[in-house]
Amino acid sequence: MGIASVGCSISDFLDKSGGYAVVDGGLATELERHGADLNDPLWSAKCLISSPQLITKVHLDYLDAGASILISASYQATLQGFEAKGISRGQGEALLRRSVEVACEARDIYNRRYRECARDGVANGGDLATRPILVAASVGSYGAYLADGSEYSGNYGESVTLETLKDFHRRRVQVLAESGADLIAFETIPNKLEATAYAELLEEEDINIPAWFSFASNDVVNVVGGDSILDCASVADSCDYVAAVGINCTPPRYIHGLIVSIGKVTSKPIVIYPNSGEAYDGLRKEWVKSTGIEDEDFVSYVGKWHDAGASLIGGCCRTTPNTIRAISATLSTKSSRSL
């Protein structure tokens, strides 16, 4: 594809989609809501082995709710994690490819349904159904693989270097780049070191699909590991392989300030998909209401986030197809008013 087209393809997609796009919502937590037991180091990737049809269903639910970007179930799918379960390198690579195939299949089913409805003269959602849809291959952080909470502390200890992280992610990124995905979503990035590792990896491997870098934060100034969002977004800005920069799995109340900061250091599209604002209690293994400012009215923030410069908006953990339906309705009403 070449670097020039890698850089502009998300912008082209946004131009074709009216200047904004709706990202899907939480995948793992939605699989759990449907009864999947993800208490496992592979988390949502466990369903790639045990119940891929449930992943297809959740992807379809998000498309029906108005999402235009599906994120694959590879967040915690790593070759090292599969090997720890006795799954060979070859089988692990096949499972990584499978995560993208499952999302592509959901897109095919959705498009086929639309064509059949159109042929039979059945109205099924009007313009919503004709939109272009992208499949993003998810890459979770090294901390997500460790499954010890470090994806939310960003603290990998002194022994983990830039090279450790590049070696850890290299083969997975190569496989996902060749899987038929439209882009790679590097999600929940907890620190600048991992962002730098991804940027160098994309350059060294000359990855031929665009990427977005999405950081996790727990305030309005820094990413979870303590590096400033300005520094982290600058790493993404200076990498030609990165086509969008943003924030995911972060409480809604911090998002506006973070968008403003990111906009100061990059003109690339800004992607944001916050969580529901609840916090995960790792000891009790459950989500709990946060104290302080309520995030319940998540969707009422969406217009402000768009005005502040975010063009790709969706949800992360504990958001559902209902959240995405409401985001989609808000953005579509807003854009038709401004025409």
Binding-site ranges for ligand MET (CB under 6 A): 26-28, 44, 71, 75, 138, 187-188, 249, 316-317
232 annotated ligand binder: no
We find the least distance from the C-beta atom of residue 217 to Zn ion, in angstroms, to be: 12
| Alpha carbon distance 220, 202 (integer Å) | 28
CA distances from 109 to 84, 128, 136 (A): 34, 15, 17
317 binds Zn ion (CB under 5 A): yes
We find the least distance from the C-beta atom of residue 9 to ligand MET, in angstroms, to be: 20
47 annotated ligand binder: no
250 binds, among ligand MET, Zn ion, none (CB under 5 to 8 A by kind): none
CB 19 within 8 A of CB 335: yes
Nearer to ligand MET, 310 or 316 (CB): 316
65 binds, among ligand MET, Zn ion, none (CB under 5 to 8 A by kind): none
Piece of 56-64, 84-92, 98-106, 246-254 that binds Zn ion (CB under 5 A): 246-254
- The closest alpha carbon to 324, from 335, 334, 313, 333, belongs to 313
Nearer to Zn ion, 119 or 285 (CB): 285
249 binds Zn ion (CB under 5 A): yes
317 annotated ligand binder: yes
216 binds Zn ion (CB under 5 A): no
68 binds, among Zn ion, ligand MET, none (CB under 5 to 8 A by kind): none
DSSP codes joined into one string, 227-241: -BHHHHHHHHHT-TT
Nearer to ligand MET, 137 or 199 (CB): 137
Instruction: Count CB-CB contacts under 10 A for residue 247.
Output: 30
Query: Could you say which residues in the range 257-316 bind Zn ion, by CB under 5 A?
Result: 316
Residue 184: enclosing H or E segment and its boundaries? Answer: strand 183-189
| Alpha carbon distance 326, 93 (integer Å) | 36
We find the least distance from the C-beta atom of residue 92 to Zn ion, in angstroms, to be: 23
| Alpha carbon distance 259, 248 (integer Å) | 11
CB 324 within 8 A of CB 315: yes
Nearer to ligand MET, 27 or 129 (CB): 27
Nearer to Zn ion, 17 or 250 (CB): 250
31 binds Zn ion (CB under 5 A): no
**DSSP-derived pairing of the beta strands 21-22 and 310-313:** parallel
We find the least distance from the C-beta atom of residue 28 to ligand MET, in angstroms, to be: 4
Nearer to Zn ion, 209 or 249 (CB): 249
CA 108, 110, 114, 117 dihedral sign is: positive
Q: Copy the structure tokens of residue 255.
A: 């998002």
We find the least distance from the C-beta atom of residue 70 to ligand MET, in angstroms, to be: 10
28 binds, among ligand MET, Zn ion, none (CB under 5 to 8 A by kind): ligand MET
Nearer to ligand MET, 114 or 145 (CB): 145
71 binds, among ligand MET, Zn ion, none (CB under 5 to 8 A by kind): ligand MET
SS3 state at 69? strand
Helix 162-177 / helix 192-204 crossing angle, nearest 10 deg: 50
Strand partners, 137: 184
Strand partners, 280: 287
Buried b or exposed e, range 1-22, using 16+ CB within 10 angstroms:
eeeeebbebbeebbeebbebbb
Q: Which residues are annotated as a binding site?
A: 249, 316-317
* Contact positions vs Zn ion (CB under 5 A): 249, 316-317
Q: Which residues are annotated as a binding site for Zn(2+)?
A: 249, 316-317
